[in-house]
Amino acid sequence: MSRYRIYRHPQGISLNGKEFICDDKGDVRLFATEGLALVWLKKQSPNSLKADTSEELFNNYGLGIELHCQKQ
């Protein structure tokens, strides 16, 4: 089953790696679909987040949604 996670690059610099949205336990918060991740973000900031696609989200806010890959 594919799962998606939300990330950003600290200070907007991709060389800094990625910071992920985490749950209360400190685990990376995972979503069943890319669309559900975007809906969750919009609910967290209903008046300020204006993006209808993950591409707009990244271009406008520097937030990305990507397929979660577990380390093996």
Report yes or no on 26 lying in a domain. Answer: yes
Report yes or no on 72 lying in a domain. Answer: no
Task: Pull the structure tokens for residue 38.
Answer: 């975007």
11-68, pLDDT tens digit by residue? 878 778 899 999 999 999 999 999 999 999 999 987 788 899 999 999 999 999 999 9
Sheet strands side by side (includes 4-8): 19-20, 4-8, 63-67
Report yes or no on 23 lying in a domain. Answer: yes
Report yes or no on 30 lying in a domain. Answer: yes
The number of distinct structural domains making up the chain is 1
SS (H, E, C) 3-72: CEEEEECHHHCHHHCCEECECCCCCECCECCHHHHHHHHHHHCCCCCCCCCHHHHHHHHCEEEEECCCCC
Residue 15 sits in which domain range?
4-67
Report yes or no on 53 lying in a domain. Answer: yes
